[in-house]
Amino acid sequence: MIILALVCCSGAQAQTAAAASPNASALQVVSSSFSTNDGMVTVLAEVKNTADIKASEVVLEARLKDADGKLIDVISEQSYGFVVPAGQQLAVRLFERAGAPVAKYATAEVKVVDAEFRRPAPPRNANANRSPWWIELLVSWGPMLLLIGVWLLFMRKYNGKDSYQSKLLDSMTEQNALLSRQVAALESVAASRSQPGTNG
């Protein structure tokens, strides 16, 4: 339920942000003109951004008509490097090889087909998402402390009472004690045999 609520909340925020962003209608073509030369058609236009944020990746379309108002040619171009800052007016040039006899070109109408408006991301507070100092210390020194703890545990078990070395040492001590008792017994037997009168 919590995840579903978060997803719904994110979707609502995205829809709100999209609704708040302006569209291509915020760009207005203030003036336009055209010229022909060597079989090329060049269209000049002035575009004004009425939005409060900059417009980029502007797609312009120029419709060229003859004296009777009949459409005879179209120039459509996406200007990736054409950026219109908020509240400013810039000129742009479109050119293409003429698709009709240049003598028939009479008027040019330019309109904005599409544009992208991106609001700048709010500045992030560097200390807002910063972890407490003790967590940073634990993260930085945690692996080393864990390694030291494992090493101490291993050494304690290695040198402990139930370790192989301890058992081996106890076994050797018992063997030495047994040998000492056997030697003492043999010495006692040898001493008793060496005394006179012991053989009857």
SS (H, E, C) the chain: CHHHHHHHHHHHHHHHHHHHCCCHHHEEEEEEEEEEECCEEEEEEEEEECCCCCEEEEEEEEEEECCCCCEEEEEEEEECCCCECCCCEEEEEEEEECCCCHHHCCEEEEEEEEEEECCCCCCCCCCCCCCCHHHHHHHHHHHHHHHHHHHHHHHHHHCCCCCHHHHHHHHHHHHHHHHHHHHHHHHHHHHHHHCCCCCC
Contacts of 53 (CB under 8 A, 6+ apart): 21, 22, 86, 117, 118, 119, 120
Start-to-end CA distance of the chain, whole Å, equals 106
pLDDT in tens, the chain (200 residues): 333 333 444 454 544 444 456 788 889 999 999 999 989 999 999 999 999 999 988 999 999 999 999 999 999 887 667 889 999 999 999 989 998 998 999 999 999 989 888 887 777 765 666 778 788 888 888 888 889 988 888 877 776 666 666 777 777 888 888 888 888 888 887 778 776 655 54
Phi and psi, residue 72, nearest 5°: -120, -15
Is the full-model pTM beyond 0.75? Answer: no
Contacts of 152 (CB under 8 A, 6+ apart): none
Dihedral angle of Cα 190, 193, 194, 198, to the nearest 10 degrees? 160
